[in-house]
Structure 1
Amino acid sequence: MDTQSRIASTIAREIQASPKQVTAAVELLDGGATVPFVARYRKEVTGGLDDTQLRNLAERLTYLRELESRRVAIRESIREQGKLTDALEKSIAGAETKATLEDIYLPYKPKRRTRAMIARENGLEPLLRAIESDRRADPAKLAEAYLGENVADVKAALEGARDILGEELTENATLLGSLREFMRAEAFISAKVAPGKEQEGAKFSDYFDHREKWADIPSHRALAILRASKEEVVTVDIAPDPETSTRRGEDIVAAAIGIPGNGPGDQWLRGVAEWTWRVKLSLSMYVDLMTELRRRAHEEAIAVFARNLKDLLLAAPAGSKATLGLDPGIRTGVKCAVVDATGKLLDTATIYPFQPKNDTRGATATLMELIARHKIELIAIGNGTASRETERLVGDVLKLLPATVKKPTKVVVSEAGASVYSASETAAKEFPDLDVSLRGAVSIARRLQDPLAELVKITPQSIGVGQYQHDVDQRKLAQTLEAVVEDAVNAVGVDLNTASAPLLAHVAGLGPSLAQSIVSHRDSTGAFPSRKALLKVAGLGPKAFEQCAGFLRIRDGAEPLDASSVHPEAYGVARKIVAACGRDIRQIMGQPQALKGLRAEEFVDGAFGLPTVRDILSELEKPGRDPRPDFVTASFTDGVEEITDLRPGMMLEGTVTNVAAFGAFVDIGVHQDGLVHVSQLADRFVKDPHEVVKAGDVVKVRVTEVDVPRKRIGLSMRKDGSGREAAQERRAQPDKGRGGAPRGKGGPGKGSRGPMSSGPKGGSGGGQGALGAALMDAMKKKN
């Protein structure tokens, strides 16, 4: 099997597809096609691979190609040394991971001068072979024959032989593989507080004496322990339990040597096996398992971040309505910004209803005037400091509006990342003459209208829906989150004539440069009359047009299909379908009954297969459909504004702000998210909280416990009233789903919000993220 076929077969097995599908997808991706384009418009070619399969395919393709490149390099290196045997070449060809390849290469890898090398130079390798071949002989007696100028005594001779055998064992690929499997199955990870670190590391107190199976530890607890170890609060060990383990590492090493008897040679070899395990291999296994644990935890943490980011980006938009954005503040005042239905900034103001000025009358007058003059339909209130006070003020203002003024809807909106946007180059270009403090209010207003369009202007890490996001592989995190943003933007589609450059930059086939060129062309020549007009944009050629056109929308243009997700290359098929109906296309689009009786199979031709025809029919039924849910928002309970207002048993409504392996955080309007432990999400066993909730969901919860000093709120979504018992159980077993994540630098914090949620202000530095191993302490203060 050639290299390409081997890679295709491996990936096909992993993504549950056929090698033919994988090969077709690889050819498209190698040809410059994007994942969204291939997933949407090349279903016939790939056999219907979806965007998730294609993302996994692309990631594994990179790894496996690197693996093959390394395989060739190792084979050539060993061949140049004149040591490549048929058996060794077969082993190299059969290696399925980079780690296995490197194990095979260890004995042949150029290395610095070692003690084993010196022992060989001193002529001690024959001594080792003599001991191995005659187990009944006394190794000390055999060693006497190898003394000389560089080997002073029997002890030195036997130590040299030991060093040679030890090096051979540490370079034995089969042994290393066996030891890893043994450790993966038997090892425990344990953490102990370092002497004198009890006070300094109090935030990690759950891990001062912690122990659990290495294979079972969830990512949030692993990351908490790794953080504590990095800060030198705890010491960490990974080793089998000597009391319960059915095997020992030294026994596996001894088995690799082969020690059938109990003669003097066998006893010496057994001692070397124990020494090699204790001094060399146990340490290398610790490093290997720690590396594997870190990688596994990073992957799971990144996956959680990606899933929550997707839910946040695809949250329901409130729609194109005149909106007043309020960025709450106490001493610095409440910043106000009015945007029209398209997001264009119309007006700004700053009011000071709170201390020290307490200008409630002036603030009320300003708000009433803005609402009436701009016919405000929505009021977006940021969820930071003074959020509930501002919400109360707005409620009072709405009561004072005259009957002739339509009352707008007030919604508490996440501020996560708003301060990052305010100081960004993007914001400076959009509003060069607007004060930085007012830009945040504009962002708050716009993200209520359309979360996706506004949030793409902020780096995903600043939105704050990740756990330990600064601890994980930053390159992998950035790649994964960029893919999430790209898939979300292209799933929704983009209005070509209103979209910002940052939003257009995420459309398949474009990027920052072409996106800016599109906006510049639009500014200079006016709105695009059609998709084809894109080809007049400088630098945008046929390939880029092919990739992006289907994801761009033109409303009320000369070509009705330009407002749909039908790709221009398939307009001919769409018109055949329309002709079969015998009516004008505008009479058909959005009228499912007009398409009844048509069979997709009748419109299949050599260029477009059944999947494309079915997609076209679906799009004609509901042109430009938005996959996002309908807009809803939680109603916070009057009089419940601080954690001290909570009492066990209260039934409240809230918004899910973040979802982790151990449960979900819910904003109930008290500046502090509560935790619904996974055991309290439903009246049934829940393995993955995402089965029940996602970020942005509005849910009803019952308060089960309130810990004011530690600012912890326990919530339940169960109907059987067992929340208190579960809370007691969690207190008794703090390691079960709580983790020891600190709130501090680079750690998880509060800013994990859906677009319609309240609580402490989201972060400005990307270090927020309420997933921090379930420790509610992580939400005590703004990062």
Structure 2
Amino acid sequence: MSQLLHYIHHHTQLPEASIKNTIELLNESCTVPFISRYRKERTGNLDEVQIGDIVKFKEQFEALEKRKITILKALEEQAVLTPELKQKIESAQDITTLEDLYLPFKKSRKTKAETARKNGLEPLAKIIMAQNASDIESVAYNYLKEDIKSVEEALEGARHIIAEWINERTDVRNNIRFQLERFAMISTKVIKTKADDEAAQKFKDYFDWSESLSRIPSHRLLAILRAENEGFIKAKIEIDDEKALMKIEDRIIRSNNACAEQIQLAIHDAYKRLIFPSLSNEALQNAKEQADDSAIAVFAKNLKQLLLGSPIGEKRVLAIDPGFRTGCKVVCLDAQGQLKYNETIYPHPPKNDSVGAMKKISSLADAYKIEAIAIGNGTASRETESLIRKIRFKNDIQVFVVSEAGASIYSASKIAREEFPNYDVTVRGSVSIGRRLQDPLAELVKIDAKSIGVGQYQHDVDQTKLQKSLDMVVENCVNAVGVNINTASKPLLSYVSGIGPKLAENIFEYRNKHGAFSSREDIKKVPRLGDKAFEQGAAFLRIKDAKNPLDNSAVHPESYGIVEKMAKDLGKNVQDLIGKTECLNAIDLNKYVTQYVGLPTLKDIIKELEKPCLDIREQAKVFTFNQNIKTIQDLREGQLLPGIVNNITNFGCFVDIGIKESGLIHVSNLADAFVSDVNEHVSLHQQIIVKVLDVDIPRKRIQLKLHK
């Protein structure tokens, strides 16, 4: 445990007591949302990000220790494990150091050095490395035999062995690593036969490019690597080879004779054939990992903002998936998102039945008491929105344009087929659009996060790392908001702390068989949902209109007794405390501090009682694009336009201004001063005003500036 604590503390600088207690909780199968919300006293009030870091470095340490065991076992089997080597391996703090220690003993394919050893040339290599022999050719003559026919062959074989020794030297490798970290350049050249390919033009900036590897932005490196992977360019890593060779020579050569000449040749061979190819690939891989981490962080931030997007709440919605030839798919949903009606209208070309479509929408709005209309933002969106705004509804109906990203993925998924077995993909897609307006989080958890389209180069980064990061974001968002157990879908339930897919299915089936849960105690009746799962998940599962008002709050059942004691001390019941700020502020929390419950938890309880089940998300707001801008041809330099941020990257943000093409606000156009973090200036789905700087119609590129 002490080594693990030291390792995590070294990487996070968090208090060791907090790390120790968090590890104990993790080992007790507690989840990150549960620990961060309900075990603040034990963790020292760490948030989910800090706890997530502890999880990450705990896994790194465990992987490192596992690799050490594998290497030690391999070395024991080879009978080469000395006490000194064992100590170095056991004290290694990173995988690079560990692999360097193991490098000389790796069983590899047949090498030039191995062939030379079999030909008996290792003693000659040792003589050369001793740098004492004045006439090395005469010495080499003694090693001639059937497979070694000349002095030069003998010397070449010895040099191969020396080159391998040099390659295996940790000091040499670390010196070249240092130079790669500090001075490496990445350069690219177009493959001439592909220069005119239409698909290659998006990478045109990198047809002849050079930049410091340590300073290249993540998006640029990922773009370069994608272009190389697709066969349009060739990338290479370079440093000052002469300087690198001189650094190696200074470490090894200490004479001025024929041996030194042979060693110099061996150094050049080792550097060109073994050291530089290996370490330049390692440097590129390290840069790629950093770029991946940066891109994944951007994706995670975007996803969090998207999932915590503004819901309209439990309102009756008419949703439209717009289209031209195939028509507009219309569905009516009740306040809980249940499908009540569906139809197709044809207001646009080629049928042009706009009058009939308007009458139909108007009658449906009346029949189903519609409170809001959701229009998908894909093909024919602007035309459909314009049509809807011409209708004079009897009641005040809000009209929203909703992102369709991923809706087609959902509509063809197993989840959608289970929800709507008797309807086709077009109806399911429209339902998804409507439900996104009601509750973006509840609907978007049904879709693979990578399909939502709010990242950069998400298909180029480490997919396992990406999935892990996105799953954690979804889990944190779901638990931060809370879940109505009586209306939640299986995918939404599966992200609740301690639940998972199997228990989510059991909850869903129990609800269908026995009806709505009336209390949190009822949750214990779900098959295979034991005490641990109840402890982890109960406080995140809400029950509306329950007999006990705390069942519809974030107060954990383990703390109900505290609330009841507070109420009793005030001569009231629990219901009398709900929403009564003045009454709650009069409570002396120190009276309720125990060995297990401290002020952080008690303050959270009071905050929750003040506004139980308060949604942390803002309410959805109606937004209207400039109705005069229909295509990119309508844009003019200097125009001020309303827009919605629809993607954020490290180099800026993309903005939907109501046409097919999104515009880019480059990071340099977000503010007059230097911008280090795009998220400090804009957020996903934020409604903003932009100024048009440049319109490149042939390349379909729009440059914008954030207008303050």
TM-score bracket relative to the smaller structure: over 0.9
| Equivalent residues of 2:127, 2:133 under 8 A apart | no
Match of 1:728 in 2: none
Match of 1:666 among 655, 658, 671: 655
Match of 1:285 in 2: 279
Partner Cα separation in structure 1 for residue 372 and residue 403 of structure 2:
15
Residues 480-536 of structure 1, C-alpha deviation per residue, up to 9 Å, x if partnerless?
Answer: 111111110000000111111111111011112211221221122221110010011
Match of 2:235 in 1: 236
Match of 2:604 among 615, 622, 625: 615
Partner Cα separation in structure 1 for residue 66 and residue 354 of structure 2:
70
Residues 612-655 of structure 1, C-alpha deviation per residue, up to 9 Å, x if partnerless?
Answer: 11111111111112221232243211211211111111111111
Aligned partner of residue 373 in structure 2, secondary structure: strand
Question: What percent identity do the matched residue pairs reach?
Answer: 45
Residues 132-170 of structure 1, C-alpha deviation per residue, up to 9 Å, x if partnerless?
Answer: 334561332332232223321110111011011011112
1:127 aligns with 2:134: no
Residues 675-731 of structure 1, C-alpha deviation per residue, up to 9 Å, x if partnerless?
Answer: 111111123221110111121111111111111111111111155xxxxxxxxxxxx
Match of 1:140 in 2: 137
Alignment of 1:339-418 (within 5 A): 339-397=333-391, 400-401=392-393, 405-418=394-407
Residues 357-391 of structure 1, C-alpha deviation per residue, up to 9 Å, x if partnerless?
Answer: 11111101101101111221111000000000000
Residues 237-270 of structure 1, C-alpha deviation per residue, up to 9 Å, x if partnerless?
Answer: 001156xxxx72212322342x234333223212
Gaps of 5+ in 2: none
Partner Cα separation in structure 1 for residue 5 and residue 367 of structure 2:
63
Residues 64-120 of structure 1, C-alpha deviation per residue, up to 9 Å, x if partnerless?
Answer: 111112212323332443433343233212311112211101112223333222322
Match of 1:642 in 2: 631
Partner Cα separation in structure 1 for residue 661 and residue 700 of structure 2:
7
Q: How far off is 1:130 after superposition? A: 2.1
Match of 2:33 in 1: 36
Match of 2:204 in 1: 205
1:221 aligns with 2:216: no
Gaps of 5+ in 1: 720-783
Alignment of 1:732-751 (within 5 A): none
Alignment of 1:362-511 (within 5 A): 362-397=356-391, 400-401=392-393, 405-511=394-500
Partner Cα separation in structure 1 for residue 333 and residue 602 of structure 2:
40
What amino acid maps onto 2:139 in structure 1? L
Partner Cα separation in structure 2 for residue 175 and residue 166 of structure 1:
12
1:546 aligns with 2:541: no
Aligned partner of residue 672 in structure 1, secondary structure: coil
Q: In terms of mean alpha carbon deviation, does 484-493 or 270-279 score higher?
A: 270-279
Aligned partner of residue 196 in structure 1, secondary structure: helix
Partner Cα separation in structure 2 for residue 292 and residue 179 of structure 1:
14
Match of 2:306 in 1: 312
Partner Cα separation in structure 1 for residue 131 and residue 662 of structure 2:
71
TM-score of the aligned structures, taking structure 2 as reference length = 0.97
Aligned partner of residue 214 in structure 2, secondary structure: coil
Partner Cα separation in structure 1 for residue 569 and residue 135 of structure 2:
96
Partner Cα separation in structure 2 for residue 392 and residue 274 of structure 1:
71
Q: In terms of mean alpha carbon deviation, does 488-497 or 596-605 score higher?
A: 596-605
What amino acid maps onto 2:57 in structure 1? R
Aligned partner of residue 523 in structure 1, secondary structure: helix
1:66 aligns with 2:89: no
Match of 2:564 in 1: 575
What amino acid maps onto 1:623 in structure 2? P
Structure 1 residues 694 and 139, CA gap change in structure 2 (3 angstroms): farther
Match of 1:521 in 2: 510
TM-score of the aligned structures, taking structure 1 as reference length = 0.88
Match of 1:759 in 2: none
Q: In terms of mean alpha carbon deviation, does 69-78 or 268-277 score higher?
A: 69-78
What amino acid maps onto 1:330 in structure 2? F
Aligned partner of residue 538 in structure 1, secondary structure: coil
Q: Which has the higher contact order (CA 8 A, sep 6+)?
A: 1
Partner Cα separation in structure 2 for residue 251 and residue 185 of structure 1:
17
Aligned partner of residue 165 in structure 1, secondary structure: helix
Match of 1:337 among 306, 331, 336: 331
Partner Cα separation in structure 2 for residue 603 and residue 620 of structure 1:
16
Alignment of 1:91-170 (within 5 A): 91-135=88-132, 137-170=134-167
Aligned partner of residue 465 in structure 1, secondary structure: coil
1:684 aligns with 2:678: no
Residues 187-212 of structure 1, C-alpha deviation per residue, up to 9 Å, x if partnerless?
Answer: 00011001211112222111000110
What amino acid maps onto 2:583 in structure 1? A
| Equivalent residues of 2:398, 2:622 under 8 A apart | no
Residues 289-337 of structure 1, C-alpha deviation per residue, up to 9 Å, x if partnerless?
Answer: 2222222222222221111111100011111111110000000000001
What amino acid maps onto 2:538 in structure 1? A
| Equivalent residues of 2:555, 2:608 under 8 A apart | yes
Partner Cα separation in structure 1 for residue 598 and residue 113 of structure 2:
66
Partner Cα separation in structure 1 for residue 145 and residue 510 of structure 2:
86
Partner Cα separation in structure 2 for residue 589 and residue 123 of structure 1:
88
Match of 1:629 among 613, 618, 624: 618
Partner Cα separation in structure 2 for residue 369 and residue 361 of structure 1:
12
Alignment of 1:559-574 (within 5 A): 559-574=548-563
